[in-house]
Protein backbone atom coordinates (compact mmCIF):
# COMPACT_ATOMS: atom_id res chain seq x y z
CA UNK A 1 0.00 0.00 0.00
CA UNK A 2 2.83 2.38 0.89
CA UNK A 3 4.54 1.60 -2.44
CA UNK A 4 1.34 2.41 -4.33
CA UNK A 5 0.94 5.61 -2.32
CA UNK A 6 4.44 6.78 -3.34
CA UNK A 7 3.77 5.79 -6.96
CA UNK A 8 0.60 7.88 -7.04
CA UNK A 9 2.33 10.94 -5.61
CA UNK A 10 5.26 10.60 -8.03
CA UNK A 11 2.87 10.13 -10.93
CA UNK A 12 1.06 13.34 -10.10
CA UNK A 13 4.21 15.37 -9.51
CA UNK A 14 5.78 14.08 -12.73
CA UNK A 15 2.90 15.45 -14.80
CA UNK A 16 2.56 19.08 -15.83
CA UNK A 17 -1.11 19.18 -14.85
CA UNK A 18 -0.16 18.61 -11.22
CA UNK A 19 2.02 21.68 -11.00
CA UNK A 20 -0.41 23.74 -13.05
CA UNK A 21 -3.30 22.84 -10.72
CA UNK A 22 -1.37 23.84 -7.59
CA UNK A 23 -0.04 27.02 -9.25
CA UNK A 24 -3.53 28.07 -10.37
CA UNK A 25 -4.87 27.43 -6.86
CA UNK A 26 -2.21 29.61 -5.23
CA UNK A 27 -2.48 32.29 -7.94
CA UNK A 28 -6.25 32.63 -7.56
CA UNK A 29 -6.07 32.76 -3.77
CA UNK A 30 -3.33 35.38 -3.94
CA UNK A 31 -5.22 37.52 -6.45
CA UNK A 32 -8.37 37.64 -4.34
CA UNK A 33 -6.56 38.10 -1.03
CA UNK A 34 -3.97 40.70 -1.98
CA UNK A 35 -4.50 42.24 -5.42
CA UNK A 36 -8.14 42.42 -6.56
CA UNK A 37 -9.79 45.27 -4.63
CA UNK A 38 -12.90 44.43 -2.62
CA UNK A 39 -16.32 45.66 -3.66
CA UNK A 40 -17.07 48.73 -1.54
CA UNK A 41 -20.78 47.83 -1.60
CA UNK A 42 -20.16 44.34 -0.28
CA UNK A 43 -20.44 43.55 3.39
CA UNK A 44 -17.59 41.03 3.16
CA UNK A 45 -14.16 42.04 1.92
CA UNK A 46 -11.87 39.41 0.43
CA UNK A 47 -8.85 41.68 0.09
CA UNK A 48 -6.80 41.50 3.30
CA UNK A 49 -5.48 45.04 2.91
CA UNK A 50 -9.02 46.43 2.56
CA UNK A 51 -10.46 44.80 5.67
CA UNK A 52 -8.36 46.75 8.15
CA UNK A 53 -8.19 43.65 10.38
CA UNK A 54 -5.27 41.29 10.97
CA UNK A 55 -6.84 38.02 9.84
CA UNK A 56 -6.84 35.70 6.86
CA UNK A 57 -10.52 34.81 6.97
CA UNK A 58 -10.78 35.54 3.27
CA UNK A 59 -8.55 32.50 2.60
CA UNK A 60 -11.12 30.21 4.21
CA UNK A 61 -13.94 31.85 2.24
CA UNK A 62 -12.26 31.66 -1.16
CA UNK A 63 -10.40 28.32 -0.86
CA UNK A 64 -13.50 26.03 -0.91
CA UNK A 65 -14.58 27.48 -4.26
CA UNK A 66 -11.11 27.00 -5.73
CA UNK A 67 -11.03 23.48 -4.25
CA UNK A 68 -14.14 22.70 -6.32
CA UNK A 69 -11.90 22.80 -9.41
CA UNK A 70 -8.50 21.91 -7.97
CA UNK A 71 -9.42 18.64 -6.29
CA UNK A 72 -11.36 17.12 -9.23
CA UNK A 73 -8.28 17.95 -11.34
CA UNK A 74 -6.10 16.09 -8.84
CA UNK A 75 -8.34 13.01 -8.55
CA UNK A 76 -9.65 12.65 -12.11
CA UNK A 77 -6.74 10.38 -13.11
CA UNK A 78 -6.95 8.08 -10.08
CA UNK A 79 -8.95 5.24 -11.62
CA UNK A 80 -10.07 6.69 -14.95
CA UNK A 81 -6.49 6.69 -16.27
CA UNK A 82 -5.94 3.13 -15.07
CA UNK A 83 -9.07 1.99 -16.90
CA UNK A 84 -8.22 3.82 -20.11
CA UNK A 85 -4.64 2.48 -20.13
CA UNK A 86 -5.87 -1.05 -19.40
CA UNK A 87 -3.77 -1.33 -16.23
CA UNK A 88 -6.70 -1.52 -13.82
CA UNK A 89 -6.79 -5.33 -13.92
CA UNK A 90 -3.06 -5.51 -13.25
CA UNK A 91 -3.51 -3.13 -10.32
CA UNK A 92 -6.36 -5.16 -8.88
CA UNK A 93 -4.36 -8.39 -9.06
CA UNK A 94 -1.69 -7.00 -6.73
CA UNK A 95 -1.52 -8.50 -3.22
CA UNK A 96 -3.69 -5.67 -1.95
CA UNK A 97 -7.37 -5.53 -1.14
CA UNK A 98 -9.63 -3.17 -3.06
CA UNK A 99 -9.93 -1.03 0.04
CA UNK A 100 -6.13 -0.74 0.38
CA UNK A 101 -5.83 0.37 -3.26
CA UNK A 102 -8.56 2.96 -2.76
CA UNK A 103 -6.99 4.25 0.45
CA UNK A 104 -3.57 4.54 -1.22
CA UNK A 105 -5.03 6.69 -3.98
CA UNK A 106 -7.14 8.61 -1.48
CA UNK A 107 -4.24 9.48 0.81
CA UNK A 108 -2.11 10.40 -2.20
CA UNK A 109 -4.77 12.89 -3.26
CA UNK A 110 -5.09 14.25 0.26
CA UNK A 111 -1.32 14.70 0.61
CA UNK A 112 -1.27 16.67 -2.64
CA UNK A 113 -4.05 18.92 -1.31
CA UNK A 114 -1.94 19.39 1.81
CA UNK A 115 1.02 20.36 -0.39
CA UNK A 116 -1.09 23.01 -2.09
CA UNK A 117 -2.13 24.48 1.28
CA UNK A 118 1.33 24.65 2.86
CA UNK A 119 2.45 27.74 0.86
CA UNK A 120 -0.60 29.64 2.16
CA UNK A 121 1.11 29.76 5.56
CA UNK A 122 3.05 32.64 4.02
CA UNK A 123 -0.19 34.63 4.18
CA UNK A 124 -0.41 34.00 7.90
CA UNK A 125 3.17 35.15 8.40
CA UNK A 126 2.53 38.27 6.29
CA UNK A 127 -0.58 39.26 8.25
CA UNK A 128 1.22 38.40 11.49
CA UNK A 129 3.90 40.95 10.56
CA UNK A 130 1.44 43.53 9.26
CA UNK A 131 -0.65 43.50 12.45
CA UNK A 132 -0.53 46.44 14.80
CA UNK A 133 1.08 45.55 17.11
CA UNK A 134 3.05 42.80 15.34
CA UNK A 135 1.50 39.42 16.08
CA UNK A 136 -2.00 40.81 16.59
CA UNK A 137 -3.77 37.86 14.99
CA UNK A 138 -5.96 35.08 16.38
CA UNK A 139 -3.54 32.19 15.86
CA UNK A 140 -5.78 29.64 17.59
CA UNK A 141 -8.77 30.54 15.43
CA UNK A 142 -6.60 30.37 12.32
CA UNK A 143 -5.41 26.84 13.07
CA UNK A 144 -8.99 25.78 13.74
CA UNK A 145 -9.97 27.20 10.35
CA UNK A 146 -7.14 25.31 8.68
CA UNK A 147 -8.40 22.08 10.24
CA UNK A 148 -11.85 22.81 8.80
CA UNK A 149 -10.32 23.41 5.37
CA UNK A 150 -8.39 20.13 5.58
CA UNK A 151 -11.57 18.24 6.43
CA UNK A 152 -13.29 19.93 3.49
CA UNK A 153 -10.43 18.97 1.18
CA UNK A 154 -10.47 15.40 2.49
CA UNK A 155 -14.19 15.13 1.73
CA UNK A 156 -13.72 16.50 -1.80
CA UNK A 157 -10.90 14.01 -2.43
CA UNK A 158 -13.18 11.11 -1.44
CA UNK A 159 -15.84 12.41 -3.83
CA UNK A 160 -13.26 12.84 -6.60
CA UNK A 161 -11.93 9.29 -6.15
CA UNK A 162 -15.49 7.96 -6.40
CA UNK A 163 -16.16 9.94 -9.60
CA UNK A 164 -12.93 8.64 -11.15
CA UNK A 165 -13.85 5.03 -10.36
CA UNK A 166 -17.09 5.09 -12.36
CA UNK A 167 -15.62 6.13 -15.72
CA UNK A 168 -12.55 5.67 -17.92
CA UNK A 169 -12.69 9.26 -19.20
CA UNK A 170 -10.75 11.87 -17.22
CA UNK A 171 -12.87 14.76 -18.48
CA UNK A 172 -16.08 13.01 -17.47
CA UNK A 173 -14.53 12.21 -14.10
CA UNK A 174 -13.58 15.87 -13.61
CA UNK A 175 -17.05 17.17 -14.53
CA UNK A 176 -18.88 14.59 -12.42
CA UNK A 177 -16.61 15.22 -9.41
CA UNK A 178 -17.11 18.98 -9.83
CA UNK A 179 -20.88 18.53 -9.90
CA UNK A 180 -20.93 16.22 -6.87
CA UNK A 181 -18.63 18.47 -4.83
CA UNK A 182 -20.70 21.54 -5.69
CA UNK A 183 -23.96 19.80 -4.84
CA UNK A 184 -22.76 18.36 -1.52
CA UNK A 185 -21.17 21.71 -0.62
CA UNK A 186 -24.08 24.07 -1.43
CA UNK A 187 -26.90 22.00 -2.93
CA UNK A 188 -28.59 21.19 0.36
CA UNK A 189 -28.60 24.90 1.27
CA UNK A 190 -30.65 25.64 -1.85
CA UNK A 191 -32.99 22.71 -1.20
CA UNK A 192 -33.51 23.70 2.43
CA UNK A 193 -34.41 27.24 1.36
CA UNK A 194 -37.56 26.03 -0.43
CA UNK A 195 -40.70 26.83 1.59
CA UNK A 196 -41.93 23.24 1.18
CA UNK A 197 -39.14 22.05 3.48
CA UNK A 198 -39.50 24.76 6.11
CA UNK A 199 -40.30 22.20 8.83
CA UNK A 200 -37.17 20.16 8.22
CA UNK A 201 -34.86 22.84 6.82
CA UNK A 202 -32.35 22.48 9.66
CA UNK A 203 -32.06 18.76 8.94
CA UNK A 204 -31.52 19.40 5.23
CA UNK A 205 -28.90 22.07 5.92
CA UNK A 206 -27.10 19.63 8.22
CA UNK A 207 -26.77 17.16 5.33
CA UNK A 208 -24.60 19.59 3.38
CA UNK A 209 -20.95 20.41 3.86
CA UNK A 210 -21.36 24.17 4.04
CA UNK A 211 -22.99 24.32 7.47
CA UNK A 212 -20.30 22.14 9.04
CA UNK A 213 -17.44 23.88 7.25
CA UNK A 214 -18.66 27.33 8.28
CA UNK A 215 -18.84 26.10 11.87
CA UNK A 216 -15.26 24.82 11.78
CA UNK A 217 -13.92 27.84 9.87
CA UNK A 218 -14.82 29.98 12.88
CA UNK A 219 -12.07 28.13 14.69
CA UNK A 220 -14.52 26.02 16.71
CA UNK A 221 -13.78 22.28 16.48
CA UNK A 222 -17.05 20.50 17.21
CA UNK A 223 -17.05 16.71 17.35
CA UNK A 224 -20.39 16.68 15.48
CA UNK A 225 -18.76 18.42 12.52
CA UNK A 226 -15.81 16.02 12.60
CA UNK A 227 -18.16 13.01 12.69
CA UNK A 228 -20.06 14.45 9.72
CA UNK A 229 -16.93 14.80 7.60
CA UNK A 230 -15.58 11.38 8.58
CA UNK A 231 -18.97 9.82 7.77
CA UNK A 232 -19.10 11.56 4.38
CA UNK A 233 -15.58 10.40 3.54
CA UNK A 234 -16.45 6.84 4.58
CA UNK A 235 -19.60 6.79 2.43
CA UNK A 236 -17.75 7.77 -0.73
CA UNK A 237 -14.79 5.47 -0.07
CA UNK A 238 -17.17 2.54 0.45
CA UNK A 239 -19.05 3.66 -2.67
CA UNK A 240 -15.78 3.50 -4.60
CA UNK A 241 -15.13 0.01 -3.29
CA UNK A 242 -18.60 -1.04 -4.41
CA UNK A 243 -17.89 0.28 -7.92
CA UNK A 244 -14.62 -1.67 -8.11
CA UNK A 245 -16.21 -4.83 -6.75
CA UNK A 246 -18.98 -4.61 -9.36
CA UNK A 247 -16.49 -6.11 -11.87
CA UNK A 248 -17.06 -9.45 -10.10
CA UNK A 249 -20.83 -9.40 -10.51
| Mean pLDDT score, 89-97 | 76
When pLDDT is cut at 50, 70 and 90, the band that residue 127 belongs to is: confident
Q: Per-domain residue ranges for the chain? A: 2-248
- Mean pLDDT across the chain, nearest whole number? 82
CB–CB of 235/184 below 8 Å? no
Q: Provide the percentage of residues in the chain whose pLDDT is more than 90.
A: 24
Flag whether pLDDT at 220 surpasses 90. no
pTM for this model (two decimals): 0.88
DSSP secondary structure letters along 26-69? HHHHHIIIIISPPPTT-SS---HHHH-SS--HHHHHHHHHHHHH
Alpha carbons 54 and 213: distance in angstroms, whole number: 22
Model confidence pLDDT, tens digit, residues 2-60: 677 877 777 777 777 777 878 888 888 888 777 776 665 544 556 666 666 667 777 88
Q: Beta-strand (E) ranges in the chain?
A: none
Alpha carbons 10 and 4: distance in angstroms, whole number: 10
Q: What is the pLDDT of residue 176?
A: 94
Alpha carbons 53 and 46: distance in angstroms, whole number: 11
| Mean pLDDT score, 215-235 | 88
Nearest residue to 150 (alpha-carbon basis) of 207, 71, 90, 35: 71
More confident residue, 172 or 79: 172
Amino acid sequence: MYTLLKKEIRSFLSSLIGYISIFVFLALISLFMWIIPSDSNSSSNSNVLDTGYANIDSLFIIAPWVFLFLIPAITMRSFADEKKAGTIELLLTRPLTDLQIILAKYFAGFILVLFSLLPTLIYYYSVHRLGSPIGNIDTGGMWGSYIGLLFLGAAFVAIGIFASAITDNQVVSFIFALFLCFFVYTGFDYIGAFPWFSKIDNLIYALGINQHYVSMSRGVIDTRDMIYFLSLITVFILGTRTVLESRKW
